Chains A and B, each alone.
Chain A
Amino acid sequence: MNLAPSPSSSRTALALTLLCAACAPSPAAPDALDADARSSAVDANANANVDASASMPDRAPTLDDAAVTDAPNPATDAPDAPVCAARAVPCADESAMRLRYLTVVNASAITNEPLAGGEFRSIIDARAGGAAVTQSYVYARFTSDGLRKLELTDEDALRSTEWDIALRRFVIRLNSGVSGPSCVLGARASSADWASVTAVADLALGEERYFDGTCQFVDDRSGINGPATILAPYWTYAGCLQMTHAIFVARLRDGRAVKLTVESYYDPDKQRECDETGMVSTPNNAAVLRLRWSFLR
């Protein structure tokens, strides 16, 4: 944790400096950050004096700017050099408050089912202790062996570039923008046909922006006040969480890209019940998500 007694007007710059020094990308290490070194520097943008434009760039900062390395080999689990450096997370204090960040690592596991064509179905227990959550998000990284869980608390994750995706209850976040210090960008694919999504090419990928430049919360307009994450359109709410089967594309920090879709929020048979009737009976294993995904070649 950086406990820098900097004047508020200069906190952003200092925080950024400290953060980048602390978490210089080191893909081979399990987590370049001290797990206990939770950030206060990332709170810098909570201060009203902070220049919002400095902390919330209008576009993704690095993917297009950085010298992109050769195309990575998705067949290995050794990511290529990252294409972005870590940076301070804007609106971290607001995120911690609004998204209820906790300091308890999520104890659940991720199960990966290999599918044909190098695809996976990952089953993520994102219940986090129930509707009144008691555990952090499930943080995970896409690997050639499947979706791999990382042992991070929500506070740790504010300074970790090792994770790609975070899941808890109905919320799924990518590690970028106001969500994390990395540059995992995403977008909803224009096609609803899984097989036809083969490249990132024509997609305008973006970072997470569920807080605006003045750290005001941006909700998903669902009526249940969720954060407007990139993946929020995977569901609609009509008495229960109905699946849209939207397909998303995410470009990871190492330059690789994945396509993914959330198949179910409830047990599959209960999900069908919800999708067809707008109601879901119990027990239904709400928040045990099934994610179908694969690397894009």
Chain B
Amino acid sequence: MKRWAIAAALALALPRCALALALPRCAPATERAVAEVRPTPDAGALPPSFDPAERVERYAPEGATVVVHFTRDGRNAVPATDADGDGWPDYVALVSETYQRVLAFEASAMRFRSPLSDATLADNGGDGRFDVYLVDFNGRGDGAFRSDACDPAAPWRCRGHMLQDNDFNGYSYPSLAVAVRTVASHELFHSTQAAYRSADSATLAEGTAVWATERFDPSLDDLERLSAPYLSATDRSLDVEPSGPADSFSYGVSLWFLHQGQRHGDSIVEALLARRDRADAPSWLVDYRDVLRARDRSFVDEFNHFASWCLFTATLSDPARGPAQGAQLRPVARTALALGRHTSVLRLFRSSFRVFAIDAPPALTSLVVAVDPASNTANTALLVAPIRGGRIDSVTQRPLASLTLDAHNAERLLLVAVNGNAEGPSAILTLCAQDHGRRECEPPTFAPDAGADAGSAPPQQPAPPAGCDATPARTSNAARALLLLAALYSALVARRFR
């Protein structure tokens, strides 16, 4: 987090594009941001903006697709270095070149729409090209996209301009070039989003913007760093909006788009934005589910795969089964599961998953799952991932129900409860692991309190592995061997992620 030294000093600032006053959460273009004036002297714009005494210049070399507005004097002055002696500060040229590269990449390589032109606006920076204003953020963010106006016929589509820090002085980017590439690729994607639907969900806006930076330049570390808030809170739904001034979960949702982009190409994200180009769009997850359906894909399957994919990070990294940059990511948050003890009653929200870990599991581990039948248990699943020899041996998908698992020779067993719904209420459950036939789980503490027919889902005894007439009572060695064989067979026929 060293990059954000100043922002951190401000305690509640955000990692990217925190607009100091009106938009501290970096909403790409909220309704209140529409019709903002340009940050030129005397324009009355919200800070940051140029001071009245500052002389603002335009940098727009022939053929350039962007115009950079800057000043050489005052508190918003850019670094004066002009190594090539062309009369223009090198920083300004760097900004111009980088923004043009990003625009070209997003439109040509990723095949997204270009930001809407501001040619028809009275205050348009001089012409219809995209405008970038270099002003001092003073540590309160480092760049921002601001909307100017929206289409009368389609008021969810908007056009705007960019603000970027004038010198990144006090920030901890390793170089100005890295700073500009990072901010340009992130914030410009907000202008791209606005060409489809402005003022959209923060998780969609920030998640795709961080993903776009990764696509533009995989050497930048934004996604690697900003995915941490997601990997530490996978029990949050992908589309639940962040609350509060310092909630960076939405940036971490970039992992979902990285996963989907790798499986289906950039076009799947473009298709999502295009689908949202309408007046009354529902949650973006619902739209995304429909985009997948149109491609004969299932959101449930994709999310289950994503949950598996997220296991392969940090020391468990495996680029063949997880993120290519998995070694640079933090481990997914896990809850230790003690044998013989039920978890607290858990809510498994839509498009979320919870990872549990059993250290030194018994060779045959029984899992007792008690589910509230009144809750939404459709499209839930259990992923089983034994760790052997320091790596995840396999990931198999099973129903989220009591069952017996083969943990033979595993030093750790990861269990992932997944809710693959794109909408709807949560599943409510408890889990308890036990040594099959030996240590039994006590009955859950939430026994029904309204009579026998009140309907607590009594925790089922773990289903014996297929084809085996075992009971959860004491078993003989021979029976245990059979159980093991059956569990192995069961694991083979269960769905396995690769």
Please say whether chains A and B are actual partners in one complex: yes
Q: What CA separation (Å) do A96 and B345 show in the bound complex?
A: 12
A22 vs B24: C-alpha distance in the bound complex, in angstroms?
Answer: 43
Would B455 and A6 count as touching, CB distance under 8 A? yes
A42 to B190, CA, bound (A): 39
Q: Is B347 an interface residue (CB 8 A)?
A: yes
Q: How far is the CA of A38 from the CA of B375 in the complex (A)?
A: 13
User: Do B345 and A38 touch across chains, with their CB atoms under 8 A apart?
Assistant: yes
Enumerate chain B residues within 8 angstroms of A266, measured Cβ to Cβ: 11
Cβ contacts under 8 Å, B456 to chain A = 1-3
C-beta contact mask, B170-213 vs A, less than 8 Å → 1, else 0? 00000000000000000000000000000000100000000000
A4 adjacent to B247 (CB under 8 Å)? no
Q: Which residue in B10, B20, B349, B446 is a CB contact (below 8 Å) of A97?
A: B349
Residues facing A in B234-289 (CB within 8 A) are 236-237, 240-249
Mostly helix, strand, loop or mixed at chain A's interface?
loop
The smallest C-beta distance from B441 to any residue of chain A, in angstroms, reads 14
Which one, A77-85, A175-183, A186-194, A281-289, is touching chain B?
A: A281-289
Contact of A96 among B232, B241, B347, B448 (CB under 8 A): B347
Q: How far is the CB of B31 from chain A (nearest CB, A)?
A: 12
**B445 interface residue per 8 A CB criterion:** yes
Q: Is the CB of B426 within 8 A of A153?
A: no
Structural contact, A103 and B345, CB atoms closer than 8 A: yes
Whether A5 touches B244, Cβ cut-off 8 Å, given contacts A239-B140, A280-B11, A282-B8, is no
Other-chain contact of B244, A170, A238, A240, A281 (Cβ < 8 Å): A170
Of the candidates A4, A38, A99, A284, the one having the most CB atoms from chain B within 10 angstroms of its own CB is A4
A227 at interface (Cβ–Cβ under 8 A)? Answer: yes
Q: Which residues in chain A, 258-286, are within 8 Å of chain B measured between CB atoms?
A: 266, 278-282, 284, 286
The answer to the question of B229 belonging to the interface, with a C-beta cut-off of 8 Å to chain A, is yes
Cβ A3 vs Cβ B454 within 8 A: yes
Chain A contacts for B122, CB-based, 8 A: none
Contact call B10/A279, Cβ cutoff below 8 A: yes
The contact of B425 among A46, A217, A278, A286, by CB within 8 Å, is: A46
Whether a CB of chain B sits under 8 angstroms from the CB of A223 is yes
A132 near B232: Cβ-Cβ < 8 Å: yes
**Chain B positions 417 through 431: 1 when the CB is less than 8 Å from some CB of chain A, otherwise 0:** 000000001101000
Minimum CB distance partner of B350 in chain A: A97
At the interface, yes or no: B373 with Cβ under 8 Å from chain A?
Answer: yes
User: A residues within 8 A CB of B237?
Assistant: 97
Q: In the complex, which residues of chain A have a beta carbon less than 8 angstroms from the beta carbon of B345?
A: 1, 36, 38, 40, 103, 155
Most chain B Cβ neighbours within 10 Å, of A17, A93, A103: A93
Q: Which partner residue on chain A sits nearest B228 by CB separation? A: A132
Q: Give B317-352 as 1s and 0s: 1 = Cβ < 8 Å from A's Cβ atoms.
A: 000000000000000000000000000111101000
Are A239 and B12 also in contact (CB < 8 A) when A21-B449, A40-B345, A225-B25 are? yes
Contacts of A227 in B (CB 8 A): 243
Chain B positions within 8 Å of A169 at CB level: 244
Interface string of B120-132 (1 = CB under 8 A from A): 0000000000000
Q: Once bound together, how far apart are the Cα atoms of A96 and B349, in whole Å?
A: 9
Residue of B347, B372, B374 with highest tally of chain A CB at under 10 A: B374
A131 within 8 A of B: yes
Give the distance to chain A from B80, nearest Cβ to Cβ, in Å.
Answer: 28
Q: Do residues B425 and A47 form an inter-chain contact, with CB atoms below 8 A?
A: yes
Majority secondary structure of chain B interface residues (helix, strand, loop or mixed): loop
The answer to whether B372 touches A1, judged by C-beta atoms less than 8 angstroms apart, is yes
Least Cβ–Cβ distance between B267 and chain A, in angstroms: 30
Q: How many interface contacts (CB-CB < 8 Å) are there between A and B?
A: 161
- Interface 1/0 per residue, A68-100 and B, CB below 8 Å: 000000000000000000000000010011111
B9 near A: Cβ within 8 Å?
yes
B446 pairs with A3, CB closer than 8 A: yes
Q: A3-B455, A6-B455, A131-B246 are in contact. Are A223 and B23 (CB under 8 A)?
A: yes
CB–CB A11/B374 < 8 A: yes
Does A157 touch B at the CB level, under 8 Å?
no
Nearest Cβ distance between residue B414 and chain A, in whole angstroms? 20
Cβ–Cβ contact B10 & A3, under 8 A? no
How many angstroms from the CA of A217 to the CA of B201 in the assembled complex?
13
Q: Which residues of A contact B294 (CB under 8 A)?
A: none
Once the chains are docked, how many angstroms separate the CA of A239 from the CA of B12? 7
| Residue numbers in A under 8 Å from B248 (CB-CB) | 132
Q: Which single residue of chain B is at the shortest CB-CB distance from A93?
A: B425
Contacts A2-B450, A4-B450, A282-B9 given; does A224 touch B25 at CB 8 Å: yes
CA distance A272 to B365 in the complex (A): 57
Bound state CA distance, A240 and B346, in angstroms? 34
> Interface code A200-227, partner B: CB below 8 Å = 1, 0 otherwise?
0000000000000000010000011111
In the complex, A43 has a CB within 8 A of chain B: yes
* A contact residues around B445 at 8 Å (CB): 34, 36-37
A90 CB to nearest B CB, Å: 13
Known A21-B450, A282-B11; contact A226-B344, beta-carbon cutoff 8 A: no
CB-contacts of A237-258 with B (<8 A): 237-241
A123 near B: Cβ within 8 Å?
Answer: no
A22-B449 in contact given A11-B374, A132-B229 (Cβ < 8 Å): yes
A63 sits at the interface (CB 8 A): no
Is the pair A239, B450 in contact by a Cβ cutoff of 8 Å?
Answer: no
Q: In the complex the two chains form, is B243's CB within 8 Å of A98's CB? A: yes
Contact residues in B for A153 (Cβ distance below 8 Å):
344
Question: Roughly how many angstroms separate A1 CA and B404 CA in the complex, as a whole number?
Answer: 26
> Is A152 on the interface with B (CB-CB < 8 A)?
no
Interfacial chain A residues near B116, Cβ < 8 Å: none
Chain A CB within 8 A of B109 CB: no
B246 — which chain A residues lie within 8 A by C-beta? 131
User: Which residue of B22, B23, B247, B373 contacts A131 across the interface (Cβ within 8 Å)?
Assistant: B247
Contact of A3 among B23, B232, B374 (CB under 8 A): B374
Cβ of A185 within 8 Å of any chain B Cβ, yes or no, is no
Interface residues of B in 13-27 (CB under 8 A from A): 13, 20-25
Chain A proximity of B34: nearest CB distance (Å): 14
**At the interface, yes or no: B479 with Cβ under 8 Å from chain A?**
no
Which chain B residue lies CB-closest to A281? Answer: B9
Known: A225-B241, A239-B21. A18 touches B11 (CB 8 A): no
Instruction: Name 15 interchain pairs, CB-CB below 8 A, sorted by A.
Output: A5-B374, A96-B426, A97-B240, A98-B243, A131-B247, A132-B233, A169-B244, A224-B25, A224-B243, A227-B243, A238-B21, A239-B13, A239-B140, A240-B12, A266-B11
Q: A2-B448, A171-B243 are in contact. List 8 more A-B contacts (CB 8 A).
A: A11-B374, A46-B426, A155-B344, A224-B24, A225-B244, A239-B12, A239-B21, A239-B24
Residues on B lying within 8 angstroms of A by beta carbon are 8-13, 20-25, 32, 140, 202, 229, 232-233, 236-237, 240-249, 344-347, 349, 370, 372-375, 425-426, 428, 445-446, 448-450, 454-457
Top 10 A-B pairs ranked by shortest CB distance?
A: A5-B455, A1-B446, A3-B456, A36-B445, A103-B344, A46-B425, A131-B246, A38-B345, A5-B373, A40-B372
